[in-house]
Structure formats: C-alpha cells, structure tokens
Amino acid sequence: SQQGEEDPQALSIQEGENATMNCSYKTSINNLQWYRQNSGRGLVHLILIRSNEREKHSGRLRVTLDTSKKSSSLLITASRAADTASYFCATGANSKLTFGKGITLSVRP
C-alpha cells in the first residue's frame, strides 16, 4: 500500500518542548505533505516536501525526507497549547495523495 504510516499514534508533551512525528511509506513518491486537523473538521496544509528535497522549514516546523529509508519526520519546535491537533502525512504518487491515520498531539500548558 502507498499509505503513509505515522508514528507514534499519540504524543503528549509539555508546552515549550519539541514534538517529533514520523511517517513511513512503502513505494516511490513524488512528494510528501503534512496536514493538521483540529476537532475532526477540515485539514489544513502545513508543508510539502518534494522527493528531491531533504529538508524544509516553515516557521516552527521542520520537515525532513529520507527517500532511501522511505520516511519523513515533522518537528514542531517550542510547542504551544494551540498546536494540539491531529497531524497527517500524505504521500503523493500516481496522481493521488494518500493519507495516513494520523498522530494525535497533545500539548499540556
């Protein structure tokens, strides 16, 4: 399956700490994207990294991609209570994005 699998399934940290979430996939991809979902509603795009890129930054977000290991990580630095949400990786291949099951991040004030 092309579906990305996130790890861990749930993560609880203290405000101010860094949060690291991982995504692994099985076949070649064109790009990998991370999305956030609050309260079971619509997803919000966070960042896209192409298969020929290794690292990307956006504000407090850092995404890495290792195509040899077929894995990506999303790092949120200096977490805030407002970062509490579900995070999904989506792998782009064969003209389609396939979403994983998500990681639930809880940031304690």
Whichever of 42 and 109 has its CB closer to another protein, that residue is 42
Whichever of 101 and 108 has its CB closer to another protein, that residue is 101
Whichever of 14 and 52 has its CB closer to another protein, that residue is 52
101 binds another protein (CB under 8 A): yes
Nearest by Cα to 7 from 106, 102, 92, 108: 102
Strands across the sheet containing 55-58: 5-7, 19-24, 71-76, 61-66, 55-58
Q: Positive or negative CA dihedral for 40, 45, 46, 52?
A: positive
Among 18-26, 63-71, 76-84, 98-106, the segment contacting another protein (CB under 8 A): 98-106
Q: Scan for tokens 């805030």, then name that residue.
A: 80
Using CA atoms of 10, 12, 16, 17 in order, give the dihedral in degrees to the nearest 10: -70
57 binds another protein (CB under 8 A): no
Pick one of 1, 14, 40, 68: the residue that binds another protein (CB under 8 A): 40
56 binds another protein (CB under 8 A): no
- Give residues in contact with another protein (CB under 8 A): 3, 30-31, 33, 35, 40-45, 48, 88, 92-93, 95-102
